[in-house]
Amino acid sequence: MGIAAADGKLLWNLPFVPQGRAYNAATPIVEGQTVIYTGAGRGTKAVKIEKQADGFTAKELWSNPDLAPQFNTPVLKDGLLFGLSNRGNLFCINAQTGQSAWTDTTQHGRGFAAIVCADSCLLALPNTSELIVFKPDGKKYSEIARYKVSDTPTYAHPIISGNRVFVKDEESVAMWIVE
């Protein structure tokens, strides 16, 4: 749903009914007039928000029922949406069409992850505590490197500052230097 910041008025609304134990943990992604949103067990959807008379309307652009994060927000880069599915697989969706580009066959934890953009690559940090560096490629999954960064599970986003990556696990914060 869209709500006016000035007065709290409902601007538009679309049903997104949960199925079973479903979570809305992902933050919607806004790109121009397009809003991309996901929900575990309900897939990933894109709608176009358009002004209509004295209100707004939301028109569904596409729906991908097969891929959706559970406890992470995907990253939109160069027209591609990258995330970690509720089954723990990294994936890529074409953000213009909703078509699945690829899904990594390796399971990376239980769907808990943080994905961040780091210039020409993406970093994924699932709860398995392996920092995965991969190329934002729309044709195939292309892993660059993988680093075990903690002995306990990680649930926080890695923080990038220059050539340093800060990682928080259950017990501490560590700094990694990328050379």
Per-residue pLDDT in tens (0 to 9) along the chain, 179 residues? 888 899 999 988 888 877 777 677 789 999 999 999 988 778 999 999 999 887 899 999 999 999 988 788 999 999 999 999 988 999 999 999 999 999 999 999 887 889 999 989 999 999 999 999 999 999 999 999 999 999 999 989 999 999 999 999 999 999 999 87
Q: Which residues, 6 or more positions from 179, have their beta carbon under 8 angstroms from its beta carbon?
A: 163
User: Residue 7: CB partners within 8 Å, gap ≥ 6?
Assistant: none
Residue 145: closest CA among 114, 179, 100: 179
Query: In sequence order, what are the beta bridge partners of 80?
Result: 77, 94
What is the assigned CATH class of domain 2-151?
A: mainly beta
Q: What is the pTM of this model?
A: 0.91
16 close to 63: Cβ distance less than 8 angstroms = no
Copy the structure tokens of residue 57: 């309307």
What's at 112, amino acid-wise?
F
Q: Where are the domains of the chain?
A: 2-151
| 1, 9 Cβ separation under 8 angstroms | no
